[in-house]
Amino acid sequence: MTRASDWLLARGRLGRLPYAIGVFGTVAVAGGIILGGVLTFYSFSNRYSHNAFEDIWILLVLLPALYLLSVLVIRRLHDMNCVGWHSAWIGFMTVVGVLSGGGFWSILALLMHGFLMVNPGRPEANRFGPAP
């Protein structure tokens, strides 16, 4: 039985469907909160001035979302019997892609997340736990 606290820990294994739901849900919720905050700060402030509160708001939403995505990637890699340290490469591609505004790194990160969504895990138990 999966507990709610398991989604915050980088232990165990995670199947393809829960991974896909977790990734899409995290991106949708974080994107919606960031977009709502940006629109709120944009409409209540001068359009041509830089607002530090907007940057803090985005950072406060982005950091937990990146942590949750990292946990999802690590648990998905565990399901494929790979060590979680490989998530650093996917995280690097994702962060560089976001900071650069798209392009090569974003496409590469999306391809890696797509690979994790379609690649089946090991059907037998491995060193990270029983099959999900």
SS (H, E, C) 18-37: HHHHHHHHHHHHHHHHHHHH
CB 76 within 8 A of CB 19: yes
Amino acid at 8: L
What whole-number distance in Å separates Cα of residue 53 and Cα of residue 12?
Answer: 37
The three-state secondary structure class of 92 is helix
Q: Is the pTM of this model over 0.85?
A: no
Q: What is the pLDDT of residue 24?
A: 92
- On whether the CB atoms of residues 35 and 7 are closer than 8 A, the answer is no
User: CA quadruple 87, 66, 101, 32: dihedral positive or negative?
Assistant: positive
pLDDT in tens, 70-109: 889 999 998 988 888 888 888 888 778 877 877 888 888 8
**Domain limits, the chain:** 13-118
